[in-house]
């Protein structure tokens, strides 16, 4: 479990919102979706299983120097939010096609699966950004970091 300061939390949240706002109208999300995003944010920021912390510590120093940990945490959370949006869309389509309610069994573990995939992809991008300046600049731009 990872403890963060309010400043860390704010930096991660701002980064996540800035990134997602390039794709989703974050200020106009339906209440239910906003609640799902906030729940996922809290779960991933708290990092009860220390998955993010372990991944961060295992990154090469050349990768961790590219951006502050809080910004990368927000980057990862934004990737998870975008995955949540896609999964939510798929679940809604599945429910519409079958005219059956989505059961708890359908949704169990979705956050864990989303988080695992999002973290893996975020790490891959950060590592690649070590040698791909355009990718690094793009990541910094969507996070809202100075170049």
Parse the chain into domains and list their residue ranges. 6-143
As separate numbers, helices (DSSP H) first and strands (DSSP E) second, the chain gives 8, 0
Domain 6-143 has CATH 1.10.3440.10: yes
What's the first-to-final CA gap in the chain, in angstroms?
A: 32
Length of the chain: 147
Neighbours of 55 (CB within 10 A): 17
pLDDT of the residue at 74:
95
Can you tell me the distance from the alpha carbon of 99 to that of 72, in angstroms, rounded to the nearest whole number? Answer: 40
Segment 77-81 shows an average pLDDT of 91
Question: For residue 137, what pLDDT band results from cuts at 50, 70 and 90?
Answer: very high
Lowest mean pLDDT among 54-63, 64-73, 111-120: 111-120
Residue 133 in this model has a pLDDT that exceeds 90 = yes
Segment 81-100 shows an average pLDDT of 71
Can you tell me the distance from the alpha carbon of 95 to that of 141, in angstroms, rounded to the nearest whole number? Answer: 37
pLDDT of the residue at 113:
83
143 close to 75: Cβ distance less than 8 angstroms: yes
Can you tell me the distance from the alpha carbon of 98 to that of 100, in angstroms, rounded to the nearest whole number? Answer: 5
Question: Which range scores top for mean pLDDT: 24-38, 46-60, 87-101?
Answer: 46-60
Exposure pattern of 109-141 as b/e (b: 16+ CB <10 Å)?
ebbeebbeebbeebbebbeebeeeeeebeebbe
Segment 83-98 shows an average pLDDT of 70
pLDDT of the residue at 112:
79
Residue 79 in this model has a pLDDT that exceeds 90 = yes
């Amino acid at each position: 479990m990872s403890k963060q300061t309010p400043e860390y939390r704010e930096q991660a949240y701002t980064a996540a919102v800035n990134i997602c706002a390039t794709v989703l109208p974050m200020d106009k999300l339906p209440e239910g979706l906003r609640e799902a995003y906030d729940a996922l944010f809290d779960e991933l920021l708290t990092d009860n299983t220390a998955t993010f912390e372990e991944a961060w510590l295992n990154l090469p120093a050349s990768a961790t120097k590219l951006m502050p940990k809080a910004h990368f945490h927000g980057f990862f959370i934004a990737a998870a939010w975008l995955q949540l949006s896609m999964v939510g869309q798929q679940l809604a389509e599945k429910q519409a096609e079958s005219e059956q309610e989505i059961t708890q069994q359908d949704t169990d573990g979705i956050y864990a699966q989303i988080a695992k995939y999002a973290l893996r992809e975020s790490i891959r991008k950060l590592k690649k950004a070590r040698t791909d300046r355009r990718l690094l600049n793009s990541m910094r731009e969507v996070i809202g970091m100075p170049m």
